[in-house]
Amino acid sequence: GQQVMQIPQYQHVQEGEDFTTYCNSSTTLSNIQWYKQRPGGHPVFLIQLVKSGEVKKQKRLTFQFGEAKKNSSLHITATQTTDVGTYFCAGEYGNKLVFGAGTILRVKS
Amino acid sequence: NAGVMQNPRHLVRRRGQEARLRCSPMKGHSHVYWYRQLPEEGLKFMVYLQKENIIDESGMPKERFSAEFPKEGPSILRIQQVVRGDSAAYFCASSPSYGQGARPEAFFGQGTRLTVV
């Protein structure tokens, strides 16, 4: 079935280090969305990528969509304690928005 | 414009009871999605509804679970004869209608934490 694989499952970094999470789809995606969920909170939309090879930046966050539109990544430069949470990618499969399992980011100060 | 409203935020039910979870989408949104989340796990798709229609319920268990989104009022996720394994956070999300373009972002509610004792 349709799957969105996300790695790693967990990442612990020292404050100031970089962080990357990767998302792979079993099929070509029309677009991909990224969400962040703080501990105890609800998912909040970060960005959507639509075009093949697209790169978007939001301050210290860089989002990429692969050329084949089957993979995506989120890179955070110089992590801060406010970056803690779970980062999800989500792909559209027919009627459904299917989420990856998420990457839990912990930042040690 | 109020966000997606879910209630109750926390719900405790004994095994065998019924659980009713409510979701009021954002004003002007006609698409509602329900997701289930276990602690430190991802969001598992359950059902996608538009007003008075179930569009995709491929993620819903065949028994005990049902969902509706009536013409008037909130969307309801109903779990009959709850069991301990139903304990989870249930999130509702809504989005506006869209045409041929990319699916718009989904706005999530705060979730309902269901505990079955």
Which residue of chain A comes nearest to B106, CA vs CA?
Answer: A45
* Contact criterion met (CB below 8 Å) for A40 and A63: no
Is the pLDDT score of B101 beyond 80? Answer: no
Question: How much is the average pLDDT of B87-116?
Answer: 90
A→B contacts (Cβ < 8 Å), by residue, are 6, 30-31, 33, 35, 41-45, 48, 50, 86, 88, 90, 92, 94-102, 104
- Rounded to whole angstroms, the Cα distance separating B98 from B95 reads 9
- Cα B66 to Cα A28, B20, B45, B48: the distances in Å are 31, 10, 14, 12
- Rounded to whole angstroms, the Cα distance separating A7 from B59 reads 23
Q: Which helix (H) or strand (E) holds A14?
A: strand A10-14
Is the pLDDT score of A76 beyond 80? Answer: yes
Question: How much is the average pLDDT of A81-99?
Answer: 91
Of B33, B43, B103, nearest to A31 by CB-CB distance is: B103
Compare A93 and B24 and report the one with higher pLDDT.
B24
User: Which pLDDT score is estimated for A94?
Assistant: 78
pLDDT in tens, B8-67: 999 999 999 999 999 999 998 989 999 999 987 889 999 999 988 999 999 999 999 999
* Cis status of the peptide bond prior to B8, with omega within 30 of 0: yes
Query: Is the Cβ pair B102, A31 closer than 8 Å?
Result: yes
- Rounded to whole angstroms, the Cα distance separating A58 from A20 reads 14
- Rounded to whole angstroms, the Cα distance separating B35 from B6 reads 13
Question: How much is the average pLDDT of A86-106?
Answer: 91
Is the pLDDT score of B2 beyond 80? Answer: no
User: Which pLDDT score is estimated for B33?
Assistant: 96
* Contact criterion met (CB below 8 Å) for A66 and A72: yes
pLDDT in tens, B27-38: 989 899 999 999
User: Which pLDDT score is estimated for B114?
Assistant: 98
Of B42, B48, B108, nearest to A42 by CB-CB distance is: B108
Per-residue confidence band for A83, with pLDDT thresholds at 50, 70 and 90: very high
